[in-house]
Amino acid sequence: MNRRTFVALSAAAALKAADKPLIIDSHVHTWKHDTRFPFAEGAHPPAEDASAEMLLDLMKANGVSRTVIIQVIHYKWDNSYLADVLKRYPTQFRGVCRVNPEDPAAPDELSRLTEHQGFKGVRLSPSGNADGDWFKGPLMPPLWKRCAELKVPMTLLVPATRLGDAAQLIDKYPDLTVVIDHQADSPLNQPEKLDALLALERYPRVFVKISHMWTLSKQPYPYPDAQVQVKRLYDKFGAKRLMWGTDWPISLRQLQYAQAVELYRDHIDFITPADREWILGKTVQQVWPFGL
């Protein structure tokens, strides 16, 4: 191969790579059976690992450049395993921690995790019943205030019935970036319940993950009934405030990792090519910058 041919082929390969959208997964979980990182008392993690190394192999095989890891509940409030992952793979991952929302020391723990352990956000998961009423209690404002001061996103796993409580907190901290997980798991057979999530569009710092299509759907892949709900979110929020996510390995109950990537990359035909680039990676990059 002469130099001219080599240069031409290299240029063509570079152009082909440039045509591919940057893909950043906004939502996975990792864990590993390792005595250095014991699971929480009473936890029942799967027998199989879901390690960072397993995830990296899947990412490489499916063209996913970077990933945001959400602290899994198996460790409860101990973020040590994920902190170790972030230390070992600082360019590939961003981490979202969990803190005990019923502990008055939670704001200081959040500061420690972000300033010394490399975390870039926190996740709260109030239930829709009385057990989750701490979400509207006196410990929330100090935690949200600290999150705003640290300039790290607040991620919420909330049912649609908790979105009114979320709105009251967002009102108090309008400059804080807030991410709603999994479309608030709004049921497809009660489309009016999505209205509470759509109403959050009035807050410019609220973002939505259009993940969990597979758990909401009653139809086969690529879940046309769930796509109807995604379109309502797309029409309201726009692509620059939506992001995809695999929820690996939890999602393996319904579909493989590769299928989840293909769902957002190759299906959902109403999303324009330019908007798909935002949903696949650019939006995530706004919320959790990777320095790309």
Q: Which of 217, 184, 178 lies closest to 198, judged by CA?
A: 184
Q: How many residues does the chain have?
A: 292
Predicted confidence (pLDDT) at residue 14 exceeds the cutoff of 60: no
pLDDT of residue 21: 82
Give the integer Cα–Cα distance in Å for 136 and 14.
Answer: 52
pLDDT tens figures, 57-91 = 999 999 999 999 999 999 999 999 999 999 999 99
For the segment 226-281, what is each residue's pLDDT rounded down to a tens digit? Answer: 999 999 999 999 999 999 999 999 999 999 999 999 999 999 999 999 999 999 99
Residue 6, pLDDT > 60, answer no
Residue range 114-135: mean pLDDT, rounded: 97
Ranges of each domain in the chain:
22-287
pLDDT in the model for residue 18: 44
Which alpha helices (DSSP H) does the chain contain, by range?
Answer: 3-19, 52-62, 80-88, 106-116, 140-150, 163-172, 195-198, 213-216, 224-237, 257-266, 273-277, 283-287
Q: Assess whether pLDDT exceeds 50 at residue 15.
A: no
Three-state DSSP class for residue 212: coil
CATH number for 22-287 (one of 1.20.140.10, 3.20.20.140, 3.90.650.10, 3.90.950.20): it is 3.20.20.140
Give the strand order in the sheet containing 122-124. Answer: 24-28, 66-70, 93-98, 122-124, 154-156, 178-180, 206-209, 242-243
Tell me, yes or no, if the pTM score tops 0.95.
no
Residue 20 has pLDDT above 90, yes or no: no
Neighbours of 148 (CB within 10 A): 16
Per-residue pLDDT tens digits for 175-223: 999 999 999 999 999 999 999 999 999 999 999 999 999 999 999 999 9
The pLDDT score that the predictor gives to residue 108 is 98
What pLDDT does residue 8 have?
46
- Average pLDDT of the chain is 94
Position 54 scores a pLDDT of 98
Query: DSSP secondary-structure letter at 50?
Result: B
Q: How far apart are CA 223 and CA 187, in angstroms?
A: 14
Interval 140-154: pLDDT, tens: 999 999 999 999 999
